Structure formats: C-alpha cells, structure tokens
Amino acid sequence: MMWIRRRGLGVQVWTPAKVNLFLEVMGRRPDGYHDLATLMLGVGWYDTLELLERSDGEVILHCDTAELSTGPENLIVRAAQLLRSRYGILQGVEIRLFKRIPMQAGLAGGSSDAAATLAGLNQLWRLGHDAPTLAALGAELGSDVSFFFHGPAAWCTGRGEIVQPFPLNQALELVLVCPQVGLSTASVFRALQRSRSLVSGQPLLEALQRGDLAAVGRSLFNRLEEPAERLCPPVRWWREQLAATASLGIGCLGARMSGSGSAVFALAQDAAEALQITRAVAKVPAGPSTARVLVVRSCD
C-alpha cells in the first residue's frame, strides 16, 4: 500500500489516504478513547515524504503546506523521535513532506505520514524491523497509524489500532469530496450521543466477500456521521449531493462520511460511473462550502 524506494542518498515514501466503509462506536473507554469496529480501506491519493540522513542527530521537517506545524508536536517528528529514543539511535534525519491529503478530513493523512516516517526511517537507518513491530510503535502515536502497515483493507478494533487484514476480491472505485472546512476528531467524538443499538459490520464484510457491490453500497455505515453533520452542515450537504446522483440514473451505490469527517465519499459501480458522479457533482450550483472532488481507487 505504501511505496518505499531509495532515491539518491535518501528514501522516498508514497503513503495513501484511507476511508472507512464502516465505522461503529462500540463504547467509551476509561482512558477517554472509544472502542471502534471499523473497516478501513487505503485509497490511491498519496502524500510523499523524502528522507535524508543527518549525522548531527537533528530531526528537521519541511512541508509545502503553510498550515501544518513542523515543530516537535508534528506526528512525523514524533515518529522519528520515538524510533530514536526507543532504539538509542544517534543519527538524525531531514524530511520533506509533500502534502496532498487534506487535514481534518477523516482520511488519516497525519497518521499515514507518521506510518510512512516509521517505514522510511526503518530503511534509511537500516533498522530491520518487521511490519508488526512498526505497527505497534505506530499505535503509540495515533489510533489509525497501525492500519497503514496492513492495508489495503482491514477490520480494525480497539481504538482502531487492532488491525486484522481483510482480503479484497476486487478494486473499489470511489468519488471523494473534501469540503474546504475541516473537523477535529476529538470534537466529533465529544458530540456523539449514546446510541441504543449497535450496527453490525457483518453484512458489509459478507458483501465484500461475495463481491456484491450493490450490497456493499447498502451496508456502508458511519456512526460519527450524525454528530459531524450536526457540527458541520456542509458535510451533510455534500453527502446528499453524492447520494442524489443515484436518482439521475448514475451508478452511485452509496454515500457516506469517512472517519470523523469532513470528507465524504461515494461508492461507484465502476470507474466510468465514478467519473459520471464527479461530473454530476461538479454541475451542482455552489452550496454552503466549496469542495475538492476526485476519483480514487482502492490501493493494491
């Protein structure tokens, strides 16, 4: 799912976004987090990291996006420092991040970058750790980081860090809509109201296994959609625009929010229908917030 290659004296990593085809919140935990049951899917939209060794032990991050802090609180810097302290590494690194995955979108861009840092440094510093070791380190950095060592699809529980790879029989074609306005994960969880009954992910898993795309579309679910849409009405507006393309005879099989938002996605019948959905959505008169619309395919 991640691509890692040597480039000159350094290492380059391409690391994808994810969407959640299913997300149920099982309950609140004593540590303040929530237990989840979620099907995560890597999709072909990538951030790129370039890593170059430094002999002075410094960890330095540059980023082409001004809104992103490059200080010690950045998950990339924290990932590098975690490896250095855990394994007594003296080398440093200079990292250039080319950011494409939007922030506060529920696409786990920050977690993906952290996973890419662990994987890239594992090569650059010749540490020789296996994927489960890196995934366990990733779990210390954030709930979604471990997934990126196990994609393209996985059933994730616990905070999201208990990852069980799920075999995909076919590529999935999606349309992603990323509203300009973002959502903080913590505030969406805070706005969540306790639900009386839990939704099961089993129908989605069975539909994926059968390759029954229409049933996959019907089984898409996200418990965080309701609180996120209450906090941020453009999320609902864009999701409804996507869903409404089905009534135009376009092969939109379902539309849901990803993670804690604000991105929403549609599952398309195939790549041609995905293009039709983007065209239909592009024609919609301007709504409450502008958005980026793009076609993505599940990662290999």
Our CB check for ligand C5P shows the closer of 34 and 236 to be 34
Tell me the two tokens of residue 155.
Answer: 């059933």
Amino acid at 221: F
Tell me the two tokens of residue 167.
Answer: 């075999």
Our CB check for ligand C5P shows the closer of 207 and 263 to be 263
Tell me the two tokens of residue 294.
Answer: 């793009």
Least separation in angstroms between residue 240's CB and ligand C5P is: 26
Map tokens 């980023």 to a residue.
Answer: 63
Which range touches ligand C5P (CB under 6 A), out of 138-146, 208-216, 230-238, 271-279? 138-146
DSSP annotation of 235 = H
> Count residues contacting ligand C5P (CB under 6 A)?
11
Our CB check for ligand C5P shows the closer of 65 and 184 to be 184
Q: Which of 3, 14, 98, 189 binds ligand C5P (CB under 6 A)?
A: 189
Least separation in angstroms between residue 253's CB and ligand C5P is: 27
Helix (H) or strand (E) holding 121: helix 109-124
Site string for ligand C5P, 7-46 (x = CB under 6 A): --------------------------xx-x----------
Select which of 18, 130, 270, 300 is catalytic: 18
Q: Which of 185, 222, 241, 262 binds ligand C5P (CB under 6 A)?
A: 185
Determine if 84 is a binding residue for ligand C5P (CB under 6 A): no
Whether 18 is catalytic is: yes
Tell me the two tokens of residue 15.
Answer: 């690391």
Provide CB contacts within 8 A for 194, sequence distance 6+. Answer: none
Q: Which of 104, 112, 143, 245 binds ligand C5P (CB under 6 A)?
A: 143
What is the rounded distance in angstroms from the CA atom of residue 182 to the CA atom of residue 228? 10
Select which of 144, 212, 270, 283 is catalytic: 144
CA neighbours closer than 13 Å in the CB half-sphere of residue 177: 31
Least separation in angstroms between residue 143's CB and ligand C5P is: 3
What is the rounded distance in angstroms from the CA atom of residue 118 to the CA atom of residue 101? 18
Whether 144 is catalytic is: yes
Map tokens 């453009």 to a residue.
Answer: 234
Determine if 142 is a binding residue for ligand C5P (CB under 6 A): yes
The region, left, alpha or beta by phi > 0 then psi within -120 to 50, assigned to residue 252 is beta
Tell me the two tokens of residue 230.
Answer: 């209450």
Tell me the two tokens of residue 133.
Answer: 């070791």
Our CB check for ligand C5P shows the closer of 186 and 248 to be 186
**∠ Cα 136 40 229 (to 5°):** 120
Q: Which residues bind ligand C5P (CB under 6 A)?
A: 33-34, 36, 142-144, 159-160, 185-186, 189
Residues with a catalytic annotation lie at 18, 144
